[in-house]
Chains A and B, each alone.
Chain A
Amino acid sequence: MYLVISSYQILLKEIVSEFRTRYALNALIMFVVVTISMVLFSIGTESPSQDILSGTLWIVIFFSAMSGLSRTFVAEEERGTSLTLRLLTSASSVYFGKLFYNLVLILALSMFIAGSYLFIIKEFIVKSYDIFWLTIFLGSVGLASASTILAAIIAKANTKGTLFPVLAFPILLPLLLTAINATRLATEGAFFVEALQEFQILISFIIVMITASIMLFDYVWKD
Protein backbone atom coordinates (compact mmCIF):
# COMPACT_ATOMS: atom_id res chain seq x y z
CA MET A 1 0.00 0.00 0.00
CA TYR A 2 2.87 2.35 0.92
CA LEU A 3 4.46 1.63 -2.48
CA VAL A 4 1.23 2.64 -4.27
CA ILE A 5 0.80 5.85 -2.23
CA SER A 6 4.39 7.03 -2.61
CA SER A 7 4.56 6.11 -6.33
CA TYR A 8 1.31 8.03 -6.87
CA GLN A 9 2.75 11.06 -5.02
CA ILE A 10 5.83 11.02 -7.26
CA LEU A 11 3.64 10.77 -10.37
CA LEU A 12 1.55 13.70 -9.14
CA LYS A 13 4.66 15.74 -8.30
CA GLU A 14 6.10 15.08 -11.78
CA ILE A 15 2.90 16.17 -13.54
CA VAL A 16 2.52 19.40 -11.50
CA SER A 17 6.24 20.12 -11.86
CA GLU A 18 6.10 19.61 -15.64
CA PHE A 19 3.15 21.97 -16.03
CA ARG A 20 4.96 24.63 -13.96
CA THR A 21 8.43 24.36 -15.49
CA ARG A 22 7.57 23.10 -19.00
CA TYR A 23 10.87 21.26 -18.78
CA ALA A 24 9.97 18.71 -21.49
CA LEU A 25 6.49 19.61 -22.72
CA ASN A 26 7.25 22.65 -24.90
CA ALA A 27 10.31 21.05 -26.48
CA LEU A 28 8.35 17.88 -27.20
CA ILE A 29 5.44 19.65 -28.87
CA MET A 30 7.82 21.71 -31.02
CA PHE A 31 9.78 18.57 -31.91
CA VAL A 32 6.61 16.78 -33.04
CA VAL A 33 5.39 19.75 -35.10
CA VAL A 34 8.80 20.16 -36.80
CA THR A 35 9.32 16.47 -37.60
CA ILE A 36 5.79 15.89 -38.97
CA SER A 37 6.13 19.04 -41.10
CA MET A 38 9.47 17.77 -42.43
CA VAL A 39 7.92 14.40 -43.33
CA LEU A 40 5.07 16.23 -45.07
CA PHE A 41 7.44 18.48 -47.07
CA SER A 42 9.78 15.62 -48.02
CA ILE A 43 6.85 13.56 -49.35
CA GLY A 44 5.77 16.46 -51.59
CA THR A 45 3.78 15.08 -54.49
CA GLU A 46 5.23 11.56 -54.17
CA SER A 47 3.16 8.60 -52.97
CA PRO A 48 5.42 6.62 -50.65
CA SER A 49 4.49 3.06 -49.69
CA GLN A 50 2.65 2.32 -46.44
CA ASP A 51 5.83 0.49 -45.26
CA ILE A 52 7.82 3.74 -45.46
CA LEU A 53 5.07 5.83 -43.86
CA SER A 54 4.73 3.31 -41.00
CA GLY A 55 8.49 3.55 -40.48
CA THR A 56 8.53 7.37 -40.45
CA LEU A 57 5.67 7.43 -37.92
CA TRP A 58 7.78 5.38 -35.49
CA ILE A 59 10.87 7.47 -36.24
CA VAL A 60 8.91 10.54 -35.10
CA ILE A 61 7.64 8.72 -32.00
CA PHE A 62 11.11 7.31 -31.16
CA PHE A 63 13.00 10.62 -31.39
CA SER A 64 10.25 12.55 -29.60
CA ALA A 65 10.39 10.00 -26.79
CA MET A 66 14.18 10.26 -26.68
CA SER A 67 14.06 14.03 -26.32
CA GLY A 68 11.51 13.95 -23.50
CA LEU A 69 11.64 10.76 -21.48
CA SER A 70 15.15 11.16 -20.11
CA ARG A 71 14.22 14.48 -18.46
CA THR A 72 12.48 12.86 -15.51
CA PHE A 73 15.77 11.67 -13.95
CA VAL A 74 18.12 14.19 -15.57
CA ALA A 75 16.08 17.06 -14.09
CA GLU A 76 16.37 15.55 -10.58
CA GLU A 77 20.17 15.31 -10.95
CA GLU A 78 20.55 18.79 -12.45
CA ARG A 79 18.41 20.43 -9.79
CA GLY A 80 20.08 18.45 -7.00
CA THR A 81 16.79 16.96 -5.83
CA SER A 82 17.69 13.30 -6.36
CA LEU A 83 19.28 13.20 -2.89
CA THR A 84 16.06 14.63 -1.45
CA LEU A 85 14.04 11.91 -3.15
CA ARG A 86 16.43 9.19 -1.93
CA LEU A 87 15.83 10.40 1.62
CA LEU A 88 12.06 10.38 1.30
CA THR A 89 11.10 7.01 -0.07
CA SER A 90 12.22 3.61 -1.33
CA ALA A 91 13.90 3.05 -4.69
CA SER A 92 10.91 0.97 -5.89
CA SER A 93 8.52 3.88 -5.24
CA VAL A 94 10.75 6.22 -7.23
CA TYR A 95 10.98 3.72 -10.09
CA PHE A 96 7.23 3.16 -10.34
CA GLY A 97 6.43 6.86 -9.90
CA LYS A 98 8.80 7.79 -12.73
CA LEU A 99 7.65 4.86 -14.88
CA PHE A 100 3.99 5.91 -14.60
CA TYR A 101 4.90 9.52 -15.35
CA ASN A 102 6.86 8.49 -18.46
CA LEU A 103 3.92 6.29 -19.41
CA VAL A 104 1.46 9.19 -19.14
CA LEU A 105 3.82 11.47 -21.08
CA ILE A 106 4.60 9.03 -23.92
CA LEU A 107 0.97 7.88 -24.23
CA ALA A 108 -0.24 11.46 -24.58
CA LEU A 109 2.61 12.20 -26.98
CA SER A 110 2.06 9.09 -29.13
CA MET A 111 -1.68 9.72 -29.36
CA PHE A 112 -0.96 13.31 -30.41
CA ILE A 113 1.66 12.20 -32.97
CA ALA A 114 -0.52 9.41 -34.39
CA GLY A 115 -3.57 11.69 -34.61
CA SER A 116 -1.59 14.50 -36.26
CA TYR A 117 0.12 12.04 -38.62
CA LEU A 118 -3.22 10.56 -39.71
CA PHE A 119 -4.67 14.03 -40.18
CA ILE A 120 -1.72 15.69 -41.97
CA ILE A 121 -0.19 12.86 -44.05
CA LYS A 122 -3.08 12.05 -46.39
CA GLU A 123 -1.14 9.18 -48.02
CA PHE A 124 -1.06 7.31 -44.68
CA ILE A 125 -4.27 5.31 -44.63
CA VAL A 126 -5.12 2.99 -41.75
CA LYS A 127 -7.62 0.24 -42.48
CA SER A 128 -7.56 -1.66 -39.17
CA TYR A 129 -7.87 0.90 -36.40
CA ASP A 130 -7.96 -1.73 -33.62
CA ILE A 131 -4.50 -2.99 -34.62
CA PHE A 132 -3.22 0.55 -35.14
CA TRP A 133 -4.23 1.97 -31.75
CA LEU A 134 -3.23 -1.16 -29.84
CA THR A 135 0.20 -0.96 -31.53
CA ILE A 136 0.51 2.70 -30.55
CA PHE A 137 -0.46 1.82 -26.96
CA LEU A 138 1.84 -1.20 -26.57
CA GLY A 139 4.70 0.51 -28.41
CA SER A 140 4.40 3.52 -26.08
CA VAL A 141 4.37 1.33 -22.97
CA GLY A 142 7.46 -0.46 -24.30
CA LEU A 143 9.22 2.86 -24.95
CA ALA A 144 8.39 4.08 -21.43
CA SER A 145 9.52 0.83 -19.77
CA ALA A 146 12.93 0.85 -21.50
CA SER A 147 13.44 4.62 -21.29
CA THR A 148 12.82 4.85 -17.54
CA ILE A 149 15.73 2.61 -16.50
CA LEU A 150 17.98 4.04 -19.24
CA ALA A 151 17.18 7.58 -18.07
CA ALA A 152 18.14 6.61 -14.51
CA ILE A 153 21.47 5.25 -15.80
CA ILE A 154 22.37 8.19 -18.04
CA ALA A 155 21.36 10.78 -15.42
CA LYS A 156 24.62 9.89 -13.63
CA ALA A 157 26.73 10.39 -16.77
CA ASN A 158 28.42 13.61 -17.89
CA THR A 159 27.15 13.48 -21.49
CA LYS A 160 23.47 13.03 -20.69
CA GLY A 161 21.87 14.44 -23.83
CA THR A 162 23.74 12.47 -26.47
CA LEU A 163 24.05 9.22 -24.55
CA PHE A 164 20.34 8.52 -24.23
CA PRO A 165 19.37 7.82 -27.87
CA VAL A 166 22.67 5.99 -28.45
CA LEU A 167 22.05 3.63 -25.51
CA ALA A 168 18.34 3.32 -26.19
CA PHE A 169 18.54 2.46 -29.90
CA PRO A 170 19.92 -1.13 -29.67
CA ILE A 171 17.60 -1.92 -26.75
CA LEU A 172 14.54 -0.49 -28.49
CA LEU A 173 15.32 -1.94 -31.93
CA PRO A 174 13.22 -5.14 -31.47
CA LEU A 175 10.33 -3.03 -30.16
CA LEU A 176 10.53 -0.56 -33.04
CA LEU A 177 10.77 -3.24 -35.75
CA THR A 178 7.76 -5.07 -34.29
CA ALA A 179 5.75 -1.84 -33.92
CA ILE A 180 6.53 -0.81 -37.50
CA ASN A 181 5.45 -4.25 -38.73
CA ALA A 182 2.20 -4.10 -36.76
CA THR A 183 1.50 -0.59 -38.08
CA ARG A 184 2.06 -1.85 -41.62
CA LEU A 185 -0.46 -4.66 -40.95
CA ALA A 186 -2.94 -1.99 -39.78
CA THR A 187 -2.50 -0.09 -43.06
CA GLU A 188 -2.98 -3.29 -45.07
CA GLY A 189 -6.33 -3.97 -43.36
CA ALA A 190 -5.17 -7.21 -41.69
CA PHE A 191 -7.44 -9.07 -39.27
CA PHE A 192 -6.71 -8.73 -35.56
CA VAL A 193 -5.50 -12.35 -35.28
CA GLU A 194 -2.87 -11.71 -37.96
CA ALA A 195 -1.21 -9.13 -35.71
CA LEU A 196 -1.32 -11.32 -32.57
CA GLN A 197 2.32 -12.43 -32.98
CA GLU A 198 3.44 -8.77 -33.03
CA PHE A 199 1.40 -8.02 -29.92
CA GLN A 200 2.89 -11.03 -28.13
CA ILE A 201 6.40 -9.74 -28.89
CA LEU A 202 5.50 -6.23 -27.68
CA ILE A 203 3.95 -7.56 -24.44
CA SER A 204 6.96 -9.85 -23.83
CA PHE A 205 9.31 -6.89 -24.36
CA ILE A 206 7.39 -4.82 -21.80
CA ILE A 207 7.40 -7.64 -19.21
CA VAL A 208 11.14 -8.32 -19.67
CA MET A 209 12.05 -4.61 -19.49
CA ILE A 210 9.99 -3.90 -16.36
CA THR A 211 11.24 -7.05 -14.57
CA ALA A 212 14.88 -6.29 -15.40
CA SER A 213 14.39 -2.65 -14.37
CA ILE A 214 12.93 -3.56 -10.97
CA MET A 215 15.95 -5.81 -10.34
CA LEU A 216 18.48 -3.21 -11.53
CA PHE A 217 17.00 0.02 -10.24
CA ASP A 218 18.18 -0.30 -6.62
CA TYR A 219 21.82 -0.39 -7.78
CA VAL A 220 21.39 2.46 -10.25
CA TRP A 221 19.52 4.71 -7.82
CA LYS A 222 21.79 4.25 -4.79
CA ASP A 223 25.05 4.90 -6.72
Chain B
Amino acid sequence: MTTLKLEAHTVAKIYNRKSIFQNVSLAVKEGMSFAITGKNGSGKSTLIKILCGVLSPSKGTIALSINGVLINYPDYYPYIGLVSPYLNMYEEFSAEENLIFIKRIRGLNSDTDERIKFLLNDFGIYEHRRKEVRNYSSGMKQRLKYCAALVHQPPILVLDEPTSNLDEYGIETVRKAMKLQKNHGALIFGTNDKDDLRFADQIFSLDKLEIGN
Protein backbone atom coordinates (compact mmCIF):
# COMPACT_ATOMS: atom_id res chain seq x y z
CA MET B 1 0.00 0.00 0.00
CA THR B 2 1.12 3.57 -0.69
CA THR B 3 2.04 5.69 2.31
CA LEU B 4 0.24 8.95 1.86
CA LYS B 5 -0.76 11.96 3.86
CA LEU B 6 -2.81 14.93 2.72
CA GLU B 7 -2.84 17.86 5.12
CA ALA B 8 -4.48 21.27 5.18
CA HIS B 9 -3.09 23.90 7.55
CA THR B 10 -5.21 26.92 8.50
CA VAL B 11 -6.71 27.11 5.01
CA ALA B 12 -9.08 29.96 4.15
CA LYS B 13 -10.91 30.90 0.97
CA ILE B 14 -12.09 34.40 0.18
CA TYR B 15 -14.26 35.17 -2.90
CA ASN B 16 -14.97 38.78 -3.81
CA ARG B 17 -13.88 39.93 -0.33
CA LYS B 18 -16.35 37.48 1.24
CA SER B 19 -14.95 34.73 3.40
CA ILE B 20 -16.23 31.24 2.46
CA PHE B 21 -14.40 29.52 5.32
CA GLN B 22 -11.41 30.18 7.52
CA ASN B 23 -8.89 28.31 9.59
CA VAL B 24 -9.53 24.84 8.17
CA SER B 25 -6.96 22.28 9.31
CA LEU B 26 -7.26 18.58 8.63
CA ALA B 27 -5.19 15.50 7.85
CA VAL B 28 -6.07 12.45 5.77
CA LYS B 29 -3.91 9.32 5.80
CA GLU B 30 -3.95 6.10 3.80
CA GLY B 31 -6.68 3.63 4.65
CA MET B 32 -8.85 6.48 5.87
CA SER B 33 -12.30 7.51 4.79
CA PHE B 34 -12.74 11.21 5.52
CA ALA B 35 -16.06 13.03 5.19
CA ILE B 36 -16.63 16.77 4.93
CA THR B 37 -20.05 18.03 5.95
CA GLY B 38 -21.62 21.45 6.25
CA LYS B 39 -24.78 23.25 5.32
CA ASN B 40 -25.36 24.60 1.79
CA GLY B 41 -22.88 27.35 0.94
CA SER B 42 -20.50 26.38 3.72
CA GLY B 43 -17.79 25.69 1.14
CA LYS B 44 -17.65 21.88 0.92
CA SER B 45 -17.08 21.89 -2.84
CA THR B 46 -14.60 24.78 -2.58
CA LEU B 47 -12.58 22.93 0.08
CA ILE B 48 -12.65 19.78 -2.05
CA LYS B 49 -11.33 21.69 -5.08
CA ILE B 50 -8.57 23.22 -2.93
CA LEU B 51 -7.57 19.78 -1.60
CA CYS B 52 -7.42 18.49 -5.20
CA GLY B 53 -5.17 21.36 -6.29
CA VAL B 54 -7.58 22.80 -8.84
CA LEU B 55 -8.32 25.94 -6.80
CA SER B 56 -5.79 27.92 -4.79
CA PRO B 57 -6.44 28.71 -1.14
CA SER B 58 -6.50 32.41 -0.18
CA LYS B 59 -4.58 31.61 3.00
CA GLY B 60 -2.93 28.53 4.49
CA THR B 61 -1.14 25.58 2.94
CA ILE B 62 -1.91 22.16 1.51
CA ALA B 63 0.68 19.39 1.69
CA LEU B 64 0.55 15.97 0.03
CA SER B 65 3.24 13.40 0.64
CA ILE B 66 3.36 10.04 -1.10
CA ASN B 67 5.84 7.44 0.14
CA GLY B 68 7.63 10.21 2.01
CA VAL B 69 7.98 12.45 -1.04
CA LEU B 70 6.33 15.86 -0.80
CA ILE B 71 4.33 16.58 -3.96
CA ASN B 72 4.54 20.08 -5.38
CA TYR B 73 1.19 21.90 -4.86
CA PRO B 74 -0.96 22.18 -6.98
CA ASP B 75 0.38 19.40 -9.25
CA TYR B 76 -1.71 16.69 -7.56
CA TYR B 77 -3.49 15.53 -10.73
CA PRO B 78 -1.61 12.18 -11.08
CA TYR B 79 -2.61 11.16 -7.54
CA ILE B 80 -6.21 12.31 -7.35
CA GLY B 81 -9.47 11.14 -8.87
CA LEU B 82 -12.36 13.56 -8.43
CA VAL B 83 -16.09 13.14 -8.97
CA SER B 84 -17.98 16.40 -8.63
CA PRO B 85 -21.17 18.02 -9.93
CA TYR B 86 -18.93 20.81 -11.28
CA LEU B 87 -16.99 18.41 -13.46
CA ASN B 88 -18.26 17.54 -16.93
CA MET B 89 -17.10 15.10 -19.57
CA TYR B 90 -16.75 16.03 -23.25
CA GLU B 91 -20.29 15.64 -24.56
CA GLU B 92 -19.35 15.42 -28.24
CA PHE B 93 -17.29 12.30 -27.48
CA SER B 94 -18.53 8.85 -26.49
CA ALA B 95 -17.84 7.43 -23.03
CA GLU B 96 -15.12 5.22 -24.51
CA GLU B 97 -13.48 8.16 -26.33
CA ASN B 98 -13.54 10.23 -23.14
CA LEU B 99 -11.81 7.48 -21.19
CA ILE B 100 -9.25 6.83 -23.94
CA PHE B 101 -8.50 10.57 -24.02
CA ILE B 102 -7.94 10.45 -20.24
CA LYS B 103 -5.72 7.38 -20.61
CA ARG B 104 -3.58 9.07 -23.27
CA ILE B 105 -3.33 12.50 -21.65
CA ARG B 106 -2.30 10.88 -18.38
CA GLY B 107 0.31 8.83 -20.23
CA LEU B 108 -1.09 5.49 -18.99
CA ASN B 109 0.02 2.21 -20.59
CA SER B 110 -2.02 -0.20 -22.73
CA ASP B 111 -3.08 -2.28 -19.67
CA THR B 112 -5.47 0.58 -18.98
CA ASP B 113 -7.69 -0.58 -21.90
CA GLU B 114 -8.70 -3.60 -19.83
CA ARG B 115 -9.34 -1.39 -16.82
CA ILE B 116 -11.53 0.94 -18.93
CA LYS B 117 -13.56 -2.07 -20.06
CA PHE B 118 -13.84 -3.29 -16.47
CA LEU B 119 -14.95 0.12 -15.16
CA LEU B 120 -17.53 0.62 -17.93
CA ASN B 121 -18.93 -2.82 -17.11
CA ASP B 122 -18.80 -2.27 -13.37
CA PHE B 123 -20.69 1.01 -13.59
CA GLY B 124 -23.22 -0.44 -16.03
CA ILE B 125 -22.53 1.73 -19.07
CA TYR B 126 -20.52 -0.71 -21.20
CA GLU B 127 -23.40 -1.19 -23.64
CA HIS B 128 -23.64 2.56 -24.09
CA ARG B 129 -19.89 3.12 -24.42
CA ARG B 130 -20.08 4.23 -28.06
CA LYS B 131 -22.96 6.69 -27.58
CA GLU B 132 -22.10 10.38 -27.43
CA VAL B 133 -22.20 11.60 -23.82
CA ARG B 134 -24.70 14.33 -24.82
CA ASN B 135 -27.27 11.51 -25.19
CA TYR B 136 -26.68 10.18 -21.67
CA SER B 137 -29.04 10.68 -18.75
CA SER B 138 -27.69 12.56 -15.72
CA GLY B 139 -27.25 9.26 -13.87
CA MET B 140 -25.22 7.76 -16.73
CA LYS B 141 -23.06 10.87 -16.85
CA GLN B 142 -22.44 10.51 -13.11
CA ARG B 143 -21.37 6.88 -13.64
CA LEU B 144 -19.01 7.94 -16.40
CA LYS B 145 -17.44 10.49 -14.05
CA TYR B 146 -16.66 7.61 -11.69
CA CYS B 147 -15.02 5.65 -14.50
CA ALA B 148 -12.97 8.75 -15.40
CA ALA B 149 -11.89 9.30 -11.80
CA LEU B 150 -10.83 5.67 -11.34
CA VAL B 151 -9.02 5.02 -14.66
CA HIS B 152 -5.57 5.78 -13.23
CA GLN B 153 -6.24 3.99 -9.92
CA PRO B 154 -5.63 7.13 -7.86
CA PRO B 155 -4.27 6.81 -4.32
CA ILE B 156 -6.77 9.50 -3.27
CA LEU B 157 -10.39 9.40 -4.43
CA VAL B 158 -12.33 12.60 -3.79
CA LEU B 159 -16.11 12.60 -4.12
CA ASP B 160 -18.37 15.63 -3.95
CA GLU B 161 -21.95 14.46 -3.25
CA PRO B 162 -21.03 10.82 -4.11
CA THR B 163 -24.51 9.37 -4.62
CA SER B 164 -26.34 12.31 -6.20
CA ASN B 165 -28.18 11.54 -9.48
CA LEU B 166 -27.70 7.78 -9.08
CA ASP B 167 -30.27 4.98 -9.00
CA GLU B 168 -30.10 2.03 -6.61
CA TYR B 169 -27.62 0.06 -8.76
CA GLY B 170 -25.43 3.14 -9.19
CA ILE B 171 -25.43 3.85 -5.44
CA GLU B 172 -24.51 0.24 -4.71
CA THR B 173 -21.61 0.36 -7.20
CA VAL B 174 -20.35 3.65 -5.81
CA ARG B 175 -20.44 2.36 -2.24
CA LYS B 176 -18.49 -0.72 -3.35
CA ALA B 177 -15.92 1.58 -4.96
CA MET B 178 -15.77 3.66 -1.77
CA LYS B 179 -15.04 0.56 0.32
CA LEU B 180 -12.38 -0.60 -2.16
CA GLN B 181 -10.71 2.81 -2.16
CA LYS B 182 -10.09 2.62 1.58
CA ASN B 183 -7.95 -0.48 0.99
CA HIS B 184 -6.21 1.07 -2.00
CA GLY B 185 -5.45 4.54 -0.59
CA ALA B 186 -7.63 7.22 0.93
CA LEU B 187 -11.16 8.43 0.39
CA ILE B 188 -12.41 11.98 0.91
CA PHE B 189 -16.02 12.89 0.32
CA GLY B 190 -18.28 15.85 0.86
CA THR B 191 -21.89 15.09 1.74
CA ASN B 192 -24.74 15.63 4.16
CA ASP B 193 -26.33 12.26 3.34
CA LYS B 194 -26.53 10.18 6.51
CA ASP B 195 -26.22 6.87 4.61
CA ASP B 196 -23.01 8.06 2.95
CA LEU B 197 -21.62 9.33 6.24
CA ARG B 198 -21.69 5.78 7.63
CA PHE B 199 -18.64 5.11 5.42
CA ALA B 200 -16.58 7.79 7.15
CA ASP B 201 -13.88 7.10 9.73
CA GLN B 202 -13.70 10.80 10.48
CA ILE B 203 -16.20 13.57 9.80
CA PHE B 204 -15.10 17.16 9.46
CA SER B 205 -17.83 19.75 9.94
CA LEU B 206 -17.22 23.00 8.07
CA ASP B 207 -19.88 24.69 10.19
CA LYS B 208 -18.17 23.87 13.48
CA LEU B 209 -14.61 23.51 12.09
CA GLU B 210 -14.10 20.34 14.12
CA ILE B 211 -13.48 16.65 13.46
CA GLY B 212 -15.78 13.95 14.84
CA ASN B 213 -16.19 10.21 14.34
Residues on A facing B (Cβ under 8 Å) = 2, 5-6, 9-10, 13, 16-17, 20-21, 79-81, 83-84, 86-90, 93, 222-223
Q: B80 to chain A: which residues have CB within 8 Å? A: 87
Contact call B88/A9, Cβ cutoff below 8 A: no
Provide 11 A-B residue pairs closer than 8 Å at the C-beta atoms, listed in order of the A residue.
A9-B105, A17-B90, A79-B88, A79-B90, A81-B88, A83-B86, A84-B88, A84-B90, A86-B54, A86-B77, A88-B102
Contact call A81/B82, Cβ cutoff below 8 A: no
A153 to B48, CA, bound (A): 24
Chain A nearest CB from B93 CB (Å) reads 8
Chain B nearest CB from A7 CB (Å) reads 9
Contact call A89/B89, Cβ cutoff below 8 A: no
A21 to B102, CA, bound (A): 20
Q: Given A21-B92, A83-B84, decide whether A88 and B55 contact each other with a Cβ distance below 8 A.
A: no
Q: Which residue of chain B is the closest to A223 with respect to CB atoms?
A: B55
Contact call B107/A80, Cβ cutoff below 8 A: no
Contact call A79/B91, Cβ cutoff below 8 A: yes
A81 to B56, CA, bound (A): 18
Q: B77 to chain A: which residues have CB within 8 Å? A: 86-90
Contact call B87/A84, Cβ cutoff below 8 A: yes
A90 to B84, CA, bound (A): 19
Q: Which residue of chain A is the closest to B84 with respect to CB atoms?
A: A83
Q: Which of A20, A87, A222 contacts B87 (CB 8 A)?
A: A87
Q: B54 to chain A: which residues have CB within 8 Å? A: 83, 86-87, 222
Q: Given A79-B91, A80-B86, A84-B88, decide whether A5 and B56 contact each other with a Cβ distance below 8 A.
A: no
Chain B nearest CB from A84 CB (Å) reads 5
A67 to B148, CA, bound (A): 32
Closest 5 CB pairs of A and B: A80-B88, A20-B92, A9-B105, A86-B54, A9-B104
Q: Which of A2, A81, A87, A223 contacts B90 (CB 8 A)?
A: A81
A6 to B82, CA, bound (A): 19
Q: Which of A20, A21, A222 contacts B55 (CB 8 A)?
A: A222
